[in-house]
Amino acid sequence: MSLGSAAAEAPPAPVKTARPWTFTRIAGYALMGFWIAMGLGLVAFLVSSFDPEFMAKYGAKFIKGLIVTIELVGLSVVLGALVSLPVAMGRLSSNKIIGRIAYSYVYFFRGTPLLAQVFLFYYGAGSFRPFLQDIGLWWLLRDAWGCALLTFTLNTSAYQAEILAGAIRNVPAGQIEAGKTLGLKRGVIFFRIVLPQALITALRPYGNEVILMLKGSAIVSIVTVFDLMGETRRIYSRTYDFQAYLWAAMLYIILVEGLRRVWDKLEARLTRHLKR
C-alpha cells in the first residue's frame, strides 16, 4: 500500500459542533454582562461625581482610617496565629479534658457572630473593671480599639486553630514514623517535619481567613473605632454625600485584591518545589 492511498484512507477529522445555547449558558452570559455593566456604571458615577474639594478635605481621613484597619487586622491575625497553635494542639490532644476545652473555645468563637463578640467585650468589660485592674488588663479593655483587637484575636485564633488542626491531620503518618525511626524527639518531629508541611497545606485557607477578617473589620465602626468604615461614617454624617461609601468600597476592593495577589505570590514561592 502506497503512502498516498494510506493518506486517502485516513479517517476525516472530527467536525467541531457549536455549543448549544442552554439556559445555564445564557444565564451565565447575562449575569456576566450585568456585573460588567454595574462595574462600568460605578466607574462612570465616580468619574462624573468626582469632587476635588471633597477629596482634598477628606482624603487624608480615608487614608487614616485605612491605616487603622490594616493595623487592627494585621495585629489580630498575627496574635491569633500565636494563640491558635496551642488551641490546635488541644484539638489534636488525646487528653479528653484538654480536647473538650479546646473544642469549647473553638465552638464558641466560631458559633457566635463577630458583632456579638465585639459587644460582649466592649460593653461587658466595664462590669469587671475592678477585676481587670487587679490582673492588669484594664489598660487593654478600657478603650474600643483594645476591645476590638482582643475580640478579633480570639475570633481568628479559633478559625486558624481549626485550619491548622486539619492541616496537621493531613500530614501523612509515614512522615512521623520516619522521624521516629531516625531517633528524633517529638518536638523536633513536630516543628521540623509536621508543622512546615501543615503550614503549606493551610496556606490557602489562611489567606481566605485574612481576607474575611479584613472585610469583617468594618463592624468595629459601630463601637467608635475610627477605621476605614468608621471614618467613612463620620464623613457621611458631615456631608451626606453618598460617594463617601463608594470610595470606601473602592479602597476595600483595592486592599483585598492587593492582599490576594501578594498571597498568590507567597503561595507560589513556598510551593515551588511541589511543581513539576
Q: pLDDT tens across 128-176, in order?
A: 777 777 777 777 788 888 889 999 999 999 999 999 999 988 888 888 8
Asked whether residue 39 is assigned to any structural domain, the reply reads: no
Asked whether residue 7 is assigned to any structural domain, the reply reads: no
Say how many domains are in the chain: 1
Percent of the chain exceeding pLDDT 90 equals 44
C-alpha cell at 64: 487614616
Q: What is the pTM of this model?
A: 0.81
Helical H segments across the chain, by residue range: 3-8, 23-48, 52-92, 96-111, 114-124, 129-135, 138-141, 144-170, 173-181, 186-189, 195-216, 228-239, 243-270
Asked whether residue 26 is assigned to any structural domain, the reply reads: no
Query: Could you tell me the CATH number of the domain that includes residue 237?
Result: 1.10.3720.10
Asked whether residue 45 is assigned to any structural domain, the reply reads: no
Asked whether residue 91 is assigned to any structural domain, the reply reads: yes
Task: Give the three-class secondary structure for 236.
Answer: helix
Q: What angle do CA 242, 243, 244 make, to 5 degrees?
A: 90
Please give the residue range of the domain that contains residue 100: 53-268
Asked whether residue 162 is assigned to any structural domain, the reply reads: yes
| Residue 1 Cα distances to 9, 11, 12, 13, 232, angstroms | 11, 16, 19, 22, 82
**Amino acid 61: pLDDT:** 92
Asked whether residue 28 is assigned to any structural domain, the reply reads: no
**Amino acid 66: pLDDT:** 93
Q: pLDDT tens across 92-140, in order?
A: 888 999 999 999 999 999 999 999 999 998 888 777 777 777 777 777 7
Q: pLDDT tens across 25-68, in order?
A: 888 889 999 999 988 887 787 777 777 888 888 889 999 999 99
Asked whether residue 276 is assigned to any structural domain, the reply reads: no
